[in-house]
Structure 1
Amino acid sequence: MHIHPAAAVTGALLGLSALVLSATAAQAAPARDQPGNPVTVSHRGASAYAPENTLASIDKAAALRIAWVENDVQRTQDGKLVIMHDTTLNRTTNVETLFPSRAPWKISDFTLAEIQKLDAGSWFNRKFAGERVPTLGRYLNRVEHNHQKLLMEVKAPELYPDIERQTLNELDNAGWLDREHLKSRLILQSFSADSLKNIHRQEADVKTGFLGMPAVADLPAYARFADQINPSHKTVTTAYIAAVHRLKGPHARPLELFTWTVDDGPTAVALARMGADGIITNAPDVVRNALEQKSFGLFIPSFP
């Protein structure tokens, strides 16, 4: 088959233009797994398959090719930041066995050295015996090593005065407040509007998300300090997502909506069709696979 040289040049230029336009759009758009699909976020890591908020859990997410991981940060008695969801240690460690007389086993009542003696894996499965509660610093290093992105919840900030500044300092020391991370690899979220205001006041370039579902009339006030509104999927409606998207956040981009916690394909697909920007899930492969199939007009149930 003969192709006229002029046509070949024109085709090459059109192809180059398409690549340039695609790259420009990618810089401006939210970091999505696939165009038109919500971001899949591993809740406390791939916590359906490994103990939550551990290095094993984010490693499992990486093995599943999931870029975004979610975690929770809290503070020990001696002022160190650790990764843990509950404000107490007894659900996901053997603290009751090692320290039986120290109920109710609050994180804030234990030093880092004491917490690092705990087994944070056996409760989930014996094959994870010896898994430890990670410090924030160690966790950040592993996320970086895995080339992942981080949605971090500042947990129960009312218990830990000035934890926002301490968290930002650790992020900065680990290199997470540079242009690359701020642009597309880091979001801080909280159920506390005051905590998010503190973060925005101290580091205005950090992307933030409010965990909850403010009334539509109150959304403009939240848009002054939050880039995302992140409610439970059980309360989300198409109209609410549209109301969120009509507003621009503190970085002059449309507000986003990430929703939680979704572990089945049909619900994930329904939320995608409603316009959700992100889906937080314990089973990220199930959600991701369902969303990819939805892109081709198909839905085939996925199972771990």
Structure 2
Amino acid sequence: MAAAVLGTVALLLSPTSDARAGDESETTVIAHRGASAYAPENTLASIDKAAQLGFTWVENDVQRTKDGELVVIHDDSLQRTTNVEQVFPGRAPWKVKDFTAAEIARLDAGSWYSPAYAGTRVPTLKDYMCHIEHNHEKLLLEIKNPELYPGLAQQILKQLGSEGWLDQRHLKRLIVQSFSADSIRTVHELRPAITTAYLGTPTAAQLHQFARFTDLINPSYGSLSKGYVSAVHSFEGPHDKPLRVFAWTVNDAATARRVAGYGVDGMITNKPDVVKAALGSN
């Protein structure tokens, strides 16, 4: 049986194999960290900008403060996207996990991007989810750096439940992803109804293992080929549907058209308007 499966995968990965037909009109476009080319990433302003551009899917990153608050920020350090060096000059390397929620709330998370966004704050996950609800948006939530925060996946699930995001209506608007296979496996085991995604490019021989606990394989677009996307699509995930592929981070028209040709199901992008226009012009 194993040999037969591997033989099928090898055929799918061969240069002459055809990928599943990619209908660009159905390609999901996800605003990466919000519309982060046009507003400071992972802020309420960035998800507002995505909504203004007409995009419902946004992606974010969740980490934890010293006193246990969940916050939305990409880097494990506050240095790049806030003025933490000026406010707390003696506390290098300014790791998120070393600051309380109240301390992080004092930081300016917008001026680094543009003076127009001065005073923008690092949002808590609670405030972020309320804003997503207000905007009627959908969320691709990343469990970020779980190795730094024991129990992060479980805490995120508890927060999502508290905000009412684990009922049937909201589950249609939620995907939880991570570079950590263990975290995604934990999410699936604790809340099997949640749609999950693994960030990375498992080998063809590993795909059957991932299909037990994840619904999507989300690789860097540079690691993709038409054959690989076809191989992913050949497996059914835990909800008895073919695995899907969301590619990241696609930011220009030529790349968007090329990646669409691989048959991907979605693209994660800082410039959702550029990608949408490119797919529409194909």
TM-score (norm 2): 0.91
Equivalences for residues 61-80 of structure 1 within 5 A: 61-80=50-69
Equivalences for residues 118-157 of structure 1 within 5 A: 118-157=107-146
Gap regions ≥5 residues in structure 1 = 1-31, 295-304
Residue of structure 1 equivalent to 2:10: none
Residue of structure 1 equivalent to 2:180: 192
Q: d(CA) in 2 for partners of 1:293 and 1:141? A: 35
What's the CA shift for 1:180? 1.4
Q: d(CA) in 2 for partners of 1:35 and 1:44? A: 22
What's the CA shift for 1:271? 1.2
Q: Name the amino acid aligned to 2:80.
A: R
Contact map agreement 1:53 1:72 (CA 8 A) in 2: yes
Q: Name the amino acid aligned to 2:131.
A: R
Task: Indicate the SS of the match to 1:244.
Answer: helix
Q: d(CA) in 1 for partners of 2:24 and 2:259? A: 15
Q: Tell which structure's C-alpha radius of gyration is larger.
A: 1
What's the CA shift for 1:35? 6.9
Residue of structure 1 equivalent to 2:262: 274
Task: Indicate the SS of the match to 1:257.
Answer: strand
Contact map agreement 2:79 2:94 (CA 8 A) in 1: yes
Task: Indicate the SS of the match to 2:244.
Answer: coil
Residue of structure 1 equivalent to 2:148: 159
Moved over 4 A (4+): none
Residue of structure 1 equivalent to 2:28: 39
What's the CA shift for 1:59? 0.1
Residue of structure 2 equivalent to 1:91: 80
Gap regions ≥5 residues in structure 2 = 1-21
Task: Indicate the SS of the match to 2:63.
Answer: strand
Contact map agreement 2:56 2:137 (CA 8 A) in 1: yes
Residue of structure 1 equivalent to 2:231: 243
Question: Percent of aligned pairs with the same residue?
Answer: 56
Question: 1:287 aligned to 2:275?
Answer: yes
Q: d(CA) in 1 for partners of 2:192 and 2:250? A: 30
Q: d(CA) in 1 for partners of 2:260 and 2:222? A: 14
Contact map agreement 1:74 1:84 (CA 8 A) in 2: yes
Contact map agreement 1:37 1:291 (CA 8 A) in 2: no
Q: d(CA) in 2 for partners of 1:146 and 1:164? A: 25
Q: d(CA) in 1 for partners of 2:184 and 2:132? A: 23
Residue of structure 2 equivalent to 1:12: none
Contact map agreement 1:50 1:60 (CA 8 A) in 2: yes
- CA-atom RMSD in angstroms: 1.2
Contact map agreement 2:25 2:279 (CA 8 A) in 1: no
Correspondence for 2:167 among 178, 187, 193: 178
Q: d(CA) in 1 for partners of 2:39 and 2:51? A: 12
Q: d(CA) in 1 for partners of 2:83 and 2:149? A: 24
Q: d(CA) in 2 for partners of 1:242 and 1:227? A: 15
Larger RCO (CA within 8 A; separation ≥ 6): 2
Residue of structure 2 equivalent to 1:105: 94
Q: d(CA) in 2 for partners of 1:293 and 1:174? A: 39
Listed one character per residue, the Cα deviations across residues 196-240 of structure 1 (whole Å, up to 9, x for unaligned) are 111111101110000000000000000001100000000100000
Q: d(CA) in 2 for partners of 1:144 and 1:288? A: 23
TM-score (norm 1): 0.84
Contact map agreement 2:24 2:280 (CA 8 A) in 1: no
Q: Which moved more, 1:156-165 or 1:54-63?
A: 156-165
Task: Indicate the SS of the match to 2:61.
Answer: strand
Q: d(CA) in 2 for partners of 1:234 and 1:268? A: 12
Contact map agreement 2:24 2:260 (CA 8 A) in 1: no
Provide the aligned length of Structure 1 versus Structure 2.
261
Residue of structure 2 equivalent to 1:214: 202
Task: Indicate the SS of the match to 1:219.
Answer: helix
Q: Which moved more, 1:261-270 or 1:88-97?
A: 261-270
